[in-house]
Structure 1
Amino acid sequence: MPMMDIQDILVVDDSRVQRRHAVELCQTLGAGSVREAEDGTQCLAMVRQQTPSLLLLDLEMPRQDGVQVMQQMAKLEMAVPIVVLSSKDYLLISTVELMGRELGLPVLGGLQKPLRREPLLDLLQRVWTPRQAQQALEHCPAQEVKAALENGQILPYYQPKVQLSDGRIKGAEMLARWHHPEHGVIGPGRFIPVIEQQGWATELTMLMLKQGLKQWQSWARQGLRLPLSVNLSALSLSGDELVDEIERYMSGSNVPARYIIFEVTETAIVDNLAHAIGCAVRLRLAGLGLSVDDFGTGFATLQQLTRFPFTELKIDQSLVTGISGKPHLIAVFNSIIEMARRLQLATVAEGIESPEDYQLVAERGCHLGQGFHIARPMPAADFLAWARQKPEPPAAATIKENLS
């Protein structure tokens, strides 16, 4: 990705040497304009005067450090994309990243100083969203979203899940996309929050399942039989009719139950735990798979593994993306893999976005993976063509050698 799209970068660092280094680096990458601030106070004043496209923020500064700057920005509702910089260890940097996101700030990631070209470019290539796209994330009106659900405009895209040891395709996750008759394809960030707020999550799950079963039949006739993963909010497990409806869909489709996996989210906020567990058990008794989604976040914890009969554990992308350069994430990842092994759970790493991350999670014994490095979510027709090509991620050959 050329940095031409980043028109104005503000570099904040009390060290003149480090600041000038960062400025020159950004200029060589083609940034439109690069400004400098030598402390937090000057940074805030410059942001008020002219909102930058990107903020490179040092954490260690006198009088007002980077943490205080982020806290002030949150209070003043300054939604500027931030890259955190520090000479401290990655654990501290990651903690600040989390703090910023909890404050509602668009923190893109964190890098160690001295700043180097390749890590910065890699980070921006993975997570940078131009301002126009950020503005497009405004939520759609609820009545329009409801009409889209009713009129069949929300369709599944399929993101491949591959076996990390050899790159072979082993399944796909179904992800909702809105095919708007006027505005084209609308991403989930604009309508999924509305669906959750309005309590339509179950309706979306059933819509995805219905389409997925039909697609599975079509692919099966062409020789492709793969497990499909469908997102299911744990809040949906409170409904008395959910399992009966799923079983009706399954029996009418003739799709073997072992090919459908429900990825359960938000398990930490179930109101009627006993009822939710009962629904989950019934799904498992019907032969369906059950995956704990986003493991490692606040919604998916160790406690949930003792409550629900899961067959698969999906490791959240926050613990995977960029893991090859973060020792503390590697330590956490290793612990999760070992725990899953003892519990006899299949493991899936989400958010694999580089060959280095692919190779690391594969070498640690994770079974499956998905992410932009492997393939982006795609329409059904494109998925079939992709699966037939059976592409092998660049790191797979090395992994075979290391595991043999």
Structure 2
Amino acid sequence: MHVGAKQATQNRAIIIDDFVEMAHFLRDLCAASGFQSTLYERATDLDAETFAAADVLFLDLSLPDVDGVQLMRRLGSNRCRTPIILISGHAGCILSAAASAGREDGLNILGTLHKPFSIAEFEALIKTVAGHTDVEEAGPLVTPEAFQAALEQNRIEPYFQSKIDLRRLEVAGFEALARLRLDDGQVLLPDQFIPTAAEFGLGDVLTDRMLILSLDAWRDWSARGADWTLSVNIPVSRLADVQFPDRLEELADLWSIDRRKLILEITETEL
């Protein structure tokens, strides 16, 4: 019993989100991972000591009293080293930009969760904290050999994020987001395996794999009568490949995709 009480004291999470249902959902997920959570709807209710005492901070970017980016600047000026997980329902590029800004301010940004997120995505991040691993000190989570094995065993998967036409209030298309599934079922986010792919010359292989898997899904949608766009992330380096346009043309022909429906998005971390 004493050990359990100590564990609860060591693993403390702060959740700042004015959306009560989401805050309670995060609290339940944290509890299942061995974290005791304190919920706040307003960031002004906390002081520097409270932030420093936590083992992880979940921060929603849209708060009623202060902008999430402004709060991160304040935490950076106070040299806060608590691991931070940013959460938001805004576009993924906004989350990525906020995470980059936080790291530039010296914060320990562990990762991001885009609402709605899956339990697997939450667990992939919280396990890093539960293992008492600091992001800056941790080595790459995926070795080149493990990444190659994931490719060979078809454990690179596209997760599709919907894009909504706000004028018509209907789904207009989907963006393919790369995920890597480990042997034990754990799902890794791009930040945990794409740097390995890029460093060891496997980035083009990953891009081609995501294109093929995404086009497979698009063909299934079209066969069912859906008229959606498909967005796929492409690294800047791939655009410098003079053979890449021909490769795209070949894939578009093989999958009979309307070129106007295929959208290439430049990987945000390379801009």
* Helix, strand or coil at the partner of 1:183: coil
The offset of 1:242, in angstroms, is 1.5
- 1:155-186 Cα offsets, whole Å, 9 max, x none, are 11111111012311111101112233323433
Within a 5 Å distance, the mapping from 1:63-212 to structure 2 comes to: 68-70=77-79, 73=80, 78-81=81-84, 100-106=102-108, 132-135=126-129, 139-212=141-214
CA distance in 1 between partners of 2:146 and 2:200 (Å): 12
- 1:95-131 Cα offsets, whole Å, 9 max, x none, are x9976421441469xxxxxxxxxxxxxxx999xx687
CA distance in 1 between partners of 2:264 and 2:177 (Å): 12
* Helix, strand or coil at the partner of 1:252: helix
Letter in 2 for 1:22: D
**Structure 1: any 5+ residue segments left out of the alignment?**
12-18, 24-36, 59-64, 84-95, 109-123, 270-298, 300-404
The offset of 1:54, in angstroms, is 4.0
**Structure 2: any 5+ residue segments left out of the alignment?**
1-22, 60-65, 67-73, 87-97
Q: Structure 1 residues 218, 103: CA separation in 2 closer, same or farther (over 3 Å shift)?
A: same
CA distance in 1 between partners of 2:184 and 2:209 (Å): 22
Task: Pick one of 12, 18, 22 that aligns with 2:45.
Answer: 22
- 1:216-263 Cα offsets, whole Å, 9 max, x none, are 222222212311111111111222322222211122222221221111
1:7 aligns with 2:39: no
CA distance in 1 between partners of 2:265 and 2:158 (Å): 15
* Helix, strand or coil at the partner of 2:184: coil
Q: Structure 1 residues 254, 106: CA separation in 2 closer, same or farther (over 3 Å shift)?
A: same
Q: Which TM-score applies when normalising by structure 2?
A: 0.58
The offset of 1:208, in angstroms, is 1.3
CA distance in 2 between partners of 1:82 and 1:216 (Å): 32
Task: Pick one of 253, 256, 260 that aligns with 1:254.
Answer: 256
CA distance in 1 between partners of 2:182 and 2:170 (Å): 34
Letter in 1 for 2:126: Q
* Helix, strand or coil at the partner of 1:139: coil
Within a 5 Å distance, the mapping from 1:304-323 to structure 2 comes to: none
The offset of 1:207, in angstroms, is 0.9
The offset of 1:200, in angstroms, is 2.4
- 1:181-201 Cα offsets, whole Å, 9 max, x none, are 323433323212222333322
Does structure 2 retain, via aligned residues, the 8 Å contact 1:154–1:177? yes
Does structure 1 retain, via aligned residues, the 8 Å contact 2:158–2:176? yes
Does structure 2 retain, via aligned residues, the 8 Å contact 1:139–1:189? no
Q: Structure 1 residues 142, 107: CA separation in 2 closer, same or farther (over 3 Å shift)?
A: closer
Letter in 2 for 1:7: Q
CA distance in 2 between partners of 1:166 and 1:217 (Å): 24
CA distance in 2 between partners of 1:155 and 1:231 (Å): 13
Q: Residue in 1 aligned with 2:7? A: none
- 1:291-330 Cα offsets, whole Å, 9 max, x none, are xxxxxxxx2xxxxxxxxxxxxxxxxxxxxxxxxxxxxxxx
Please tell me the root mean square deviation across aligned C-alpha atoms, in Å.
4.2
Q: Structure 1 residues 221, 82: CA separation in 2 closer, same or farther (over 3 Å shift)?
A: closer
Q: Which TM-score applies when normalising by structure 1?
A: 0.41
* Helix, strand or coil at the partner of 1:207: helix
Does structure 1 retain, via aligned residues, the 8 Å contact 2:55–2:82? no
Does structure 2 retain, via aligned residues, the 8 Å contact 1:178–1:187? yes
Q: Which has the larger radius of gyration?
A: 1
